[in-house]
Amino acid sequence: MGSAESPLKATVICALPERQIERCLELPRGATVAVALRCSGLQQEFPDMDFDSAAVGIFGKLADRSTVLQQGDRVEVYRPLRADPKESRRKRSARR
């Protein structure tokens, strides 16, 4: 186990329609989801995506931006759904 001074390693993932971006970061202990997003540089690289209102999670579970990260956490940025899943199932079922 590392010392309390060693950096926190975390990953930020953002899946876009055309590709998936993964940023491995070293952050100070006590860093939050918001800090990881800011340090990832994704907001500057993809200015058209609304990162401020995008849902975020850690390992597939929704998380608040103030959540303090743990060693090895994977922060995920979720894009909004393009279609309501229930409505999509209804349409597929009607076509059969």
Q: What is the pTM of this model?
A: 0.77
CB 54 within 8 A of CB 48: no
Q: Tell me: the pLDDT tens digits for 43-85?
A: 888 888 888 888 999 999 999 999 999 999 999 999 876 666 6
> Average pLDDT for residues 25-35, to the nearest whole number?
96
CB 73 within 8 A of CB 59: yes
Select the more confidently predicted residue: 20 or 81: 20
What is the residue extent of each domain of the chain? Answer: 8-95
pLDDT at 3: 53
Give the separation between CA 60 and CA 92, rounded to whole angstroms.
Answer: 27
Q: Is residue 2 scored above 60 in pLDDT?
A: no
CB 25 within 8 A of CB 11: yes
CATH superfamily ID and name for 8-95: Beta-grasp domain (3.10.20.30)
